[in-house]
Structure 1
Amino acid sequence: MKIGKIPNNTLKKIILDKITNKRCEVLIRPKIGEDCSALDFGEDACVLSCDPITGASNEVGRLAVHISCNDIASCGVEPIGLMVALLAPPEATEKELETIMRQLCETASSLNVDIIGGHTEITDSVNKFILITTAIGKGSKDKLIKTSDAKPGDDIIITKTAGIEGTAIISHDKEAELSEKLGKDLIESGKAFINNISVVKEGIIASKFGVNAMHDITEGGVLGAVWEIAEASGTGCIIEADKIPVADVTKIICDYYKIDPLKLISSGSMLITCSNGQALVEELANNGISSAIIGKITKDLTKYIVKDSQLIEIGQPETDELYKVVAL
């Protein structure tokens, strides 16, 4: 099998279709594209999400916190707690472990999230640090936002720019090569993208504004997230490539490695659908968050992107472009 997420058709057939538990307390169940699960706790819901960090070698503690907390925010809920499973290879040092713990604690503190438990282990089953985090949030069960609630006619909005996380990871992990080839100042700006990985702020703002669906843009990039939000919602979509914001440093790095920025992992960007996209863009701007309307949700089940005046069908997500680079 290819490195990366299991393809969605395989995920459905071998994983999701095997899950048969149907407890009435479960409000949001596993589904392609759905970021979180939720449990009925009376007036409130407990919202949970679990994610690993496998594609990065640097800043893994910071990434681990943001990735899971971003999923909670995509439900319009503030994350409150985090559990961490940390697997380290036998050659790991105490200094490396301390660095990762400092990253975890500092990043969690910046989001007002408590680390509430987890597991640590040295094992020869891994050859680098692997972190798996489970984030927990609490919110009104009547106000949860799901990936699968996009409505035909909705505007599709992206926050910030495409490929944020991928730009940060590549800039950190390939720093020596890229600094020599593209210039140190450029790569320092790419490394600084690690500070833009969180979407908690825009998730809470969008929830208060009133939106239909949200989806954290992770593996598969913008195109993967658009496909997933439409697929989960039983809709189609049409987006325009020239309306998708891509930072200059992302373009330059992607051109250098001959990869597509629209298929590059992009934690730090949120995909949102709502009936009045322009008003949401203005509300986000009032709170210091850039965003853009990139398309529409449609009744037709087909998913399209307009690129160079051509209408191109968007296929289900494949292996993220990041893995073409980290494998080099």
Structure 2
Amino acid sequence: MEVGKLSLAAVLRELEEAGVRLELDANEVDGLLAAVNPAVGVPDELLGFFAFHYSASNVAAAFGRPEFALLDLVLPPGYPEDKAFSIIRSFASECRKYGARLVGGHTGRYEGAEYPIASSAVMGRRVRVRRPPAEGDAVYLVGVVGTEAAWLTGAGVGLEELTPLPKALRLHGAEGLKLLHDVSEGGLLGALLEISTFYRCTIIVERGGVPVDPRAPRLGEPLSLPSYGALVAVAEEGSRLEDFCSREGLDCSWIGRVGGPGAGVEVDGVVFTTAPPSELVALYAPTVAGREEAAAVALAASRLLRLRGLERFVPEVGMNIAYTKPGARVEEDVAAIEGRIIRTVRGLKLCGKPAYGASRHLARVLIEAARRDPRRRAAVNLRPSPELLDALRRLGLKVVEAEARGACPVAEAIAAGVEADAYFYEAAPGLEPSLVIIADSPASLAELLERALSLLSRKADIA
């Protein structure tokens, strides 16, 4: 399933045919720069903040100063009024902080809205002229790659690190600066490709010059990591932008240069025409983004969906994977998938997003397990096939059979002092056969199952 922005090149073609002349980031209308963006998939308490900053940052990147703002708040049926007003107050607070006037908007609850969506429009007057890049211009990164990725996975990241707006406003005074572009969907590579597409120029990047936030997860292509809060700056060669940024207290790194006419971003000799998608996009959900345990469950679930052969071991009731907060005492301290992972004729399907309190069964198991060993914080349930049990034993796991009694046989076995890495029980009245594997993290469970399936695949090949 594709998510994210549509192709910039395709959008440009469509709008040019409709007679619309676009600029990058924000368009000028009767002397005002205007930008519009939705904020969705972040915790409700941050919607107002991001709704303002997404659009205001676009205006600032286009060398405008935000002056007017509108907010459109689309809510799911039954959404609490007090939470809606909290979003509005947060948006208005950011407007005041940056000297913009909130001049209107819309609110409403609608069928079809799964999460709240806060869309904003921000307008402001241009304070300097944006110039197109030319061959030989220097390309800088103001900020670092991966700070947003670190926040998504639950690292301690301050809100001011998650917006490029203050940086863009300070950079309005930099001599020799031609243009700015915020780093949003697609990461740094996506932002560079948008500049390349819009201005029909190539960009040459040296990977070694790109700073990466040490808190960011090491997942996939680093240049595609979510990195909102950073800016790409293009400046005349010899502009001394790094000196200006140093005086302004901004991190600034030379990362490459503008090449000749064409399209694409060359990174250490490898040409990219599209940005490889980051698996961290799975974390954009109100119950997941910025929450360590829920984020870890989402990433592991995404990995499990790609494991070939896993569908054979998914129970009729579905599979779930859970991760507990340190020191968990109640079900709401344990994150799991709301609707589980189920088998379909087209393969495995994820039903719902991770949420705290979503699995009573695995929560009971993990709370009991963590009482005895705080490192045992993750669990997954499967169908206890003899071949899978054998593969787990061959990988060195201690696998024991629990007595099928009570509402949660595995939790009762652990409470009775039975120590193991994996517990299974056969069918009993009201209970489907089940296997529960316990580990230190959801990622460890996904890796373990990948190894087990690899063993089974090799065994099948030999047979």
| TM-based fold match above 0.5 | yes
The 1:320–1:102 alpha-carbon spacing in structure 2 relative to 1, beyond 3 Å, is: farther
Structure 1 unaligned spans of 5+: 22-28, 176-186
Contact 1:4 1:319 in 2 (8 A): no
Which residue is equivalent to 1:281?
Answer: 242
Q: Give the equivalent residue in structure 2 for 1:80.
A: 67
Residue 303 of structure 1 and its aligned partner are, at CA, apart by 3.1
Partner SS state of residue 64, structure 2: coil
Q: Pairwise mapping of residues 205-244 of structure 1 onto structure 2 (< 5 A)?
A: 205-210=170-175, 211-244=177-210
Asked whether 1:153 is paired with 2:136, we answer: yes
Work out the CA distance in 2 between the residues paired with 1:219 and 1:209: 26
More RCO (CA 8 Å, sep 6+):
1
Secondary structure of the corresponding residue to residue 78 of structure 1? strand
Does 1:104 find its partner at 2:91? yes
For the structure 1 residues 92 and 7, does the alpha-carbon distance in structure 2 shift closer, same or farther, using more than 3 Å as the test? same
- Establish whether residue 120 from structure 1 lines up as the match of residue 107 from structure 2: yes
Give the match for residue 182 of structure 1: none
Query: Which amino acid in structure 2 is aligned with residue 200 of structure 1?
Result: L
CA change 1:166–1:65 in 2 (3 A) is farther
**Alpha-carbon distance in structure 1 between the residues aligned to 2:166 and 2:160:** 13
Give the Å deviation of 1:74: 0.9
Question: Does 2:38 align with 1:52?
Answer: yes
Aligned pairs for 1:239-258 (under 5 A) are 239-250=205-216, 254-255=217-218, 258=219
RMSD: 2.2
C-alpha contact 1:72 1:78 (8 A) present in aligned 2: yes
Identity of aligned residues (%): 21
> Structure 1 276/126 Cα, relative in aligned 2: closer, same or farther at 3 Å?
same
Q: Residue 94 of structure 2: SS of its match in structure 1?
A: helix
Which structure 2 segments of 5+ residues have no match?
Answer: 286-297, 299-463
Question: Residues 150, 139 of structure 1: CA spacing in aligned structure 2 closer, same or farther, 3 A cutoff?
Answer: same
Distance 1:72 1:325, change over 3 A: same
How far 1:245 sits from its partner (Å)? Answer: 1.2
In structure 1, what is the Cα distance between the partners aligned to 2:266 and 2:41? Answer: 27
> Against the structure 1 CA distance between its residues 319 and 7, is the aligned structure 2 distance closer, same or farther, given a 3 Å change threshold?
farther
Structure 1 residue 202 displacement after superposition:
2.9
TM-score (norm 1): 0.79
Q: After TM superposition, give the deviation of residue 300 of structure 1 in Å.
A: 4.5
- Structure 1 residue 321: Cα displacement: 4.3
1:219–1:265 CA contact under 8 A, matched in 2: yes
Question: Could you say which residue in structure 2 is the equivalent of 1:36?
Answer: 26
Superposed, 1:291-302 pairs within 5 Å as 291-302=252-263
Give 3-state SS (helix, strand or coil) of 2:42's partner: coil
Paired residue type of 2:189? L
Please give the alpha-carbon distance, in whole angstroms, between the structure 1 residues aligned to 2:222 and 2:43: 20
Tell me the TM-score normalized by structure 2.
0.57
Q: Distance in 2 between matches of 1:2 and 1:306?
A: 25
**Corresponding residue for residue 4 of structure 1:** 4
SS in 2 for 1:289: coil
Q: Write out per-residue CA displacement over residues 226-262 of structure 1, whole angstroms, 9 at most, x where no aligned residue.
A: 1111221121110011211111111xxx22xx34342
| Worse-superposed segment, 203-212 or 263-272 | 203-212
Kept in 1: contact 2:138–2:234 (CA 8 A): yes
Counterpart contact for 1:155–1:274, Cα < 8 Å? yes
Residues 1:66 and 1:237: Cα distance change in structure 2 (over 3 Å): same
The answer to whether the 8 Å contact 2:68/2:100 transfers is yes
Q: Which residue of 2 aligns with 1:144?
A: 129
Superposition deviation, residue 280 in structure 1: 1.0
Post-superposition CA distance 1:161-213 (Å, at most 9, x none): 11333433x14xxx4xxxxxxxxxxx2x23x2x22233333323333223212
Query: In the alignment, is the contact (CA less than 8 A) between 1:227 and 1:315 conserved in 2?
Result: yes
Matches of 1:230 and 1:207, distance apart in 2:
22
Q: Secondary structure at the match of 2:77?
A: coil
Structure with bigger gyration radius: 2
Partner of 2:336: none
Q: 1:315: which partner in 2? A: 273
Report if the CA contact (8 A) 2:200-2:263 is conserved: no
Q: Within 2, Cα distance between the matches of 1:268 and 1:277?
A: 25
Q: What amino acid is the match of 1:145?
A: R
Q: 1:224 to 1:94 in 2, by over 3 A?
A: same
The whole-number CA distance in structure 2 between the counterparts of 1:261 and 1:160 is 14
Look up the match of 1:270: 231
How far 1:4 sits from its partner (Å)? 1.0
Q: CA deviation at 1:70?
A: 0.5
Inter-CA distance 53–90: structure 2 relative to 1 (3 Å threshold):
same
The answer as to whether partners of 2:25 and 2:61 remain within 8 angstroms in 1 is yes
